[in-house]
Amino acid sequence: MRYVRKYVTTQQHSAKHVGSGSVEVLSTPSMILFMEETCRVFSDEHLPEGQTTVGVHVDVYHVRPAPIGSEVEIRSTLLQFDGKKLVFWVEAWCSGTLIGYGLHERAVVDKEKFLSRVKG
């Protein structure tokens, strides 16, 4: 299964703004955020009420810059789902150029149980 979302980069997504670099281009943390959000939205659309997913692993490469103000398309492909964990192949594209790619894993959790553990 495949899912695609598009994002427009803003100043808040720049490496300079998030502190991961000193240049005004899409930061790696922001690219990863786009990837995680795309996978989460896809997952939430396919899970029963009361369940969600949390990110547990990210292994990505950021191979090309994307200027601020550009549109970034995230392509997410579900590779594996065992009922407890989802594994995605993710790609980030900007103006027809691959700018990032890798794997992202998410664990399925019951929202209430998860939050009760966080609260102590």
pLDDT score at 120:
62
pLDDT score, position 79: 99
Looking only at the bridges linking them, the beta strands covering 2-8 and 51-62 are unpaired
How many domains in the chain?
1
Q: What's the distance, Cα to Cα, between the start and end of the chain in Å?
A: 37
Which whole-number Å values give the CA distances from 73 to 40, 41, 66, in the listed order?
15, 14, 11
Any idea what the CATH number is for the domain that residue 10 is in?
3.10.129.10
In single-letter form, the type of residue at position 106 comes to: R
Which residue shows structure tokens 């019951």? 110
Decide: helix, strand or coil at residue 98.
Answer: strand
| Pairing label, strands 71-81, 2-8 | antiparallel
Low-confidence ranges of the chain (pLDDT < 70): 120
Residue 68 sits in which domain range?
Answer: 2-119
Per-residue pLDDT, 119: 79
How deeply is 77 buried, as exposed, middle or buried, from its count of CB atoms within 10 A (0-12, 13-18, 19+)? middle
| Phi–psi pair at 19, nearest 5 degrees | 90, 10
